[in-house]
Amino acid sequence: MRSAPAPAKGRFHEVADGVHAYVQPDGGWCLSNAGLLVSDGACLLIDTVATEARARRLREHVLLVAGRPPRFLVNTHFHGDHTFGNFVFPEATVVGHERAREEATAAGTHLTGLWPDVCWGDLEIVVPAVTYHERMDLHVGARQARLLHPGPAHTTGDTVVWLPDQRVLFTGDLVMAGATPFCPMGSVTGSLDALARLRALDAVTVVPGHGPVGGPELFDVNEGYLRRLQRLAADGIAAGLTPLETAREAGPGPYADLLDAERLVPNLHRAYAEELGAAPGDPLDIPALFREMAEHHGGLPVCRA
């Protein structure tokens, strides 16, 4: 299946003094968000983007807004739509969770093989050079950026970036806006636990991994979706149904308006595994889940990068 024509280009929105969210509409497959913190002549970039062309455009926007390249580049997790553009910021020290470094190293450019018709460009994989275990504080001029690992959630190596002075939270793909959550590489229960931790921060502005900027109400949609997954998994197991059969029978339900509803299939596999006793983050056969998702969808979902 060929990719769709490129949608609207990303651009920065100032969401607080010196804090900018780079949003790429419409937030579907491989159209992720990034962030920028600027203070006292220094800046920090949160995530990059999927293709070389989009990454070079992001760099142009960073230089326009900040006047200089970032000193630090934080990756919220290892997926290529948040990390493939790292290499166009050679001046930056890339920071991430210790598991994100391991996962990025193992994955390489695997994502490009799922959608070979996308013009990915001449990618160079750059993994975090500085890692942390539970928490790390970065100082950007007079501003503080707190990196927190919430445990297995979207992946096993997630980072959220909390700006306590501005009460702005960059969640990576732990939170989606207008797009279906995705946790087969992490955990349903872990995602719910992580959302509870994020609520406790009392953020005013929430920058999700995909989709438009919002507030704490974004937590509600994601939590509701995840709790439905748990109910569907418990009922499906009791009825002797496979995750694919449960997905076909249940459909997206009240979340039909979210992009990429086909993610229900791999998400249900994670929910089934946990309902049957698997620990959060235990590995699943992700290529097999993608094939089953494509079967459910009637073909590989369209990559919008």
The more confident residue out of 141 and 3 is 141
Taking CA atoms, 36 is separated from 23, 79, 238, in Å, by: 11, 19, 47
Beta strands in the chain (DSSP E): 11-16, 19-23, 34-39, 42-46, 72-74, 93-97, 130-132, 135-140, 143-148, 160-163, 168-176, 205-210
Q: Label residues 269-299 b or e (16+ Cβ within 10 Å = b).
A: bbbbbbbeeeebbeebeeeebbebbbebbee
Dihedrals phi, psi of 59, to nearest 5 degrees: -60, -45
Contact 268, 296 (CB under 8 A): no
Q: What is the pLDDT of residues 198-215, one digit of tens each?
A: 999 999 999 999 999 999
Residue 4 has pLDDT above 70, yes or no: no
Q: What integer best gives the mean pLDDT of the chain? A: 96
Q: Label residues 235-267 b or e (16+ Cβ within 10 Å = b).
A: ebbeeebebbebbeebebeeeeebbbbbbbbbb
The more confident residue out of 143 and 8 is 143
What local confidence, expressed as pLDDT, does residue 9 receive? 86
Q: Label residues 72-90 b or e (16+ Cβ within 10 Å = b).
A: bbbbbbbbbbbbbbbbbbe
What local confidence, expressed as pLDDT, does residue 200 receive? 98
For residue 23, what are its two tokens?
Answer: 């949003």
Whole-angstrom Cα distance, residue 252 to residue 28?
A: 16
For residue 3, what are its two tokens?
Answer: 């990719």
Confidence grade of residue 7 (pLDDT, cut at 50, 70, 90): low
Q: Using CA atoms in the order 49, 55, 59, 61, what is the torsion angle rounded to 10 degrees?
A: -70
The type of residue at 137 is D
Mean local confidence (pLDDT), 250-276? 98
Whole-structure pTM value? 0.96
What local confidence, expressed as pLDDT, does residue 2 receive? 38
Whole-angstrom Cα distance, residue 104 to residue 75?
A: 10
Contact 75, 100 (CB under 8 A): yes
The type of residue at 269 is H
Q: Is 178 helix (H, G, I), strand (E, B) or coil?
A: coil
Residue 68 has pLDDT above 50, yes or no: yes
Mean local confidence (pLDDT), 219-232? 98
What local confidence, expressed as pLDDT, does residue 1 receive? 35
- The CA-based angle 92-98-103, given to 5 degrees, is 90
For residue 261, what are its two tokens?
Answer: 């509803």
Q: What is the pLDDT of residues 73-114, one digit of tens each?
A: 999 999 999 999 999 999 999 999 999 999 999 999 999 999
How would you classify the pairing of strands 160-163 and 19-23?
unpaired
Whole-angstrom Cα distance, residue 111 to residue 105?
A: 13
Question: What is the DSSP track for 104-144?
Answer: HHHHTTHHHHHSTTS---S------SEEESSEEEEEETTEE
Sign for the CA dihedral angle at 32, 196, 151, 132 comes to positive
How would you classify the pairing of strands 11-16 and 168-176?
unpaired
Mean local confidence (pLDDT), 160-165? 98
Whole-angstrom Cα distance, residue 183 to residue 124?
A: 26
